[in-house]
Amino acid sequence: MTARATSLSLDITTAAEHPIHLDHLMRITGQDATGYFTLAPGHADFVTALVPSILAWTLADGKQGFAAVLDAILSLENGCAFISAAEAHIGPARDLLLTQVKQRRAELQTESERAAQKAAALDEAARRRLAGLSGQKL
């Protein structure tokens, strides 16, 4: 029988930053496509893709910490949480980080809209080119 963990640990890794390691966490709260979730000591192993959001944790002494995470995967195994993220920004001020997340979501939406417009323009150009080659009118 495996002993139940009395606290969690958290490792956050990105390609651009040094890894962050935290011990003695009592709770980790995050958000995935289904909504918010909370991990606590003794939680079953867990894997999810995080949406761009604020990850929050509470240390054993009651202090809180926050990270803005973008394009991230979270896995929990035996009380050890691992996050691999394209971007992660650690900070003490949740509101400032939330502003960064909202800005990034807006940027992603704009990039997505631009890509859709470009794809539509390329599709139209290809149709015109094919119609020109076959002598058809659109």
Q: What percent of the chain has pLDDT over 70?
A: 88
Is there a domain that residue 3 lies in?
A: no
| Structural domain contains residue 27 | yes
CATH code at position 15: 2.60.15.10
The region that residue 43 occupies, defined by phi over 0 for left and psi between -120 and 50 for alpha, beta otherwise, is beta
* DSSP conformational letter for 6: S
Concatenating the DSSP letter of every residue in 7-54 gives: SEEEEEEESSS--EEEEEEEEEEEEETTEEEEE-TTPPPEEEEEPSEE
Residue 110 has pLDDT above 50, yes or no: yes
In a domain, 96, yes or no: yes
Global confidence as pTM: 0.68
**What one-letter code names the amino acid at 99?**
T
Domain assignment of residue 101, yes or no: yes
Residue 1 covered by a domain: no
Lowest mean pLDDT among 29-38, 68-77, 81-90, 100-109: 100-109
Range of the domain at 119: 8-134
Per the domain annotation, does 106 fall within a domain?
yes
pLDDT over threshold 60, residue 90: yes
Number of Cβ atoms within 10 Å of the Cβ of 30: 22
Question: Quick check: 51 and 123 in contact, CB under 8 A?
Answer: no
Residue 95 is assigned to a structural domain of this protein: yes
Q: Compute φ and ψ for 69, nearest 5 degrees.
A: -120, 140
Is residue 12 domain-resident? yes
The structural domain count of the chain equals 1
* pLDDT above 90 for 121: no
Residue 71 to residue 85: CA distance in whole angstroms:
6
